[in-house]
């Protein structure tokens, strides 16, 4: 059953673009599926080949250590595509995808997604670019883990999360992750993240109000010796 609506189209256009003919085909090819907060959308080593695009809500990609600890890999919001690896080559899922809020997704069968890629070359290009970006992100994180101090990884993640505000031109993180979640991203501890962010605030390099954090002095952070 195809589904439509302005919110659906807006979210799909983040990944698939604004071409009305492509969006029409995309909406016809997908099925709406909803998940509650905490639900596992995809399970590692699962053999299903469904591809998902988030319409509303958020999710995260995880692996688990032998001791059962979560290893954070990535996060997804509206417009994010995941599950494509099983369709393009891998026979099993390589990570868990877990909802971090109530989530609505557009689900594509293997056949429907491959058909879209074959019909619309731009979709194949977007998938390729997304995969390259994920490889580059993984490479950066591996480098940071091996070469930066724990505090340096906090600095790097803050600067990566911060986006330029259109009005103030300052770097802003509108919703700073919890310190526990932040620590998972950089393979550190909650205490290290809390201590480092509070230290930056005392130095006047950042300003934090609730979940919002403003990076006031990015160059000064880059020049700190704790990298």
> Looking at the predicted structure, is the pLDDT value of residue 72 above 70?
yes
Whole-angstrom Cα distance, residue 41 to residue 96? 8
pLDDT tens digits along 150-168: 999 999 999 999 999 988 8
pTM: 0.82
List pLDDT tens digits, range 76-126. Answer: 999 999 999 888 886 678 889 999 999 999 999 999 999 999 999 999 999
Q: With 0-12 CB in 10 A as exposed, 13-18 as middle and 19+ as buried, what is 154?
A: buried
70 within 8 A of 91, measured Cβ to Cβ: no
With contact defined as beta carbons under 8 Å apart, do 177 and 210 qualify? no
Give the per-residue pLDDT at 1: 46
Whose structure tokens read 């390589």?
A: 94
Work out the mean pLDDT of the chain and round it to a whole number.
92
Mean pLDDT score, 2-31? 89
Dihedral (C-alpha) 93, 94, 100, 105: value to the nearest 10 degrees? -40
Residue 48 CA neighbour count, 13 Å, CB half: 15
Q: Give the three-state DSSP class for 32.
A: strand
**109: Cα within 13 Å, side-chain hemisphere:** 8
Phi, psi torsion values for 207, nearest 5 degrees: -130, 130
């Amino acid at each position: 059953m195809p589904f439509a609506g302005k919110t659906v189209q807006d979210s799909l256009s983040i990944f698939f673009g604004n071409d009305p003919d492509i969006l029409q085909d995309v909406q016809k090819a997908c099925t709406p599926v909803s998940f509650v907060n905490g639900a596992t959308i995809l399970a590692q080593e699962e053999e299903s080949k469904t591809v998902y695009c988030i319409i509303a809500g958020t999710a995260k990609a995880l692996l688990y250590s032998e001791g059962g600890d979560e290893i954070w890999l990535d996060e997804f919001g509206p417009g994010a595509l995941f599950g494509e690896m099983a369709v393009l080559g891998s026979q099993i899922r390589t990570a868990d995808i877990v909802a971090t809020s109530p989530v609505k997704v557009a689900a594509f069968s293997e056949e429907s997604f491959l058909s879209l890629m074959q019909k619309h070359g731009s979709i194949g290009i977007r998938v390729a670019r997304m995969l390259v970006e994920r490889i580059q992100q993984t490479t950066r994180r591996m480098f940071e883990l091996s070469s930066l101090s724990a505090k340096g990884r906090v600095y790097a993640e803050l600067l990566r999360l911060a986006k330029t505000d259109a009005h103030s031109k300052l770097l802003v993180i509108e919703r700073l992750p919890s310190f526990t979640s932040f620590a998972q991203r950089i393979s550190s501890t909650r205490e290290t993240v809390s201590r480092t962010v509070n230290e930056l605030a005392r130095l006047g390099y950042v300003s934090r109000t609730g979940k919002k954090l403003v990076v006031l002095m990015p160059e000064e952070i880059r020049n700190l010796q704790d990298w």
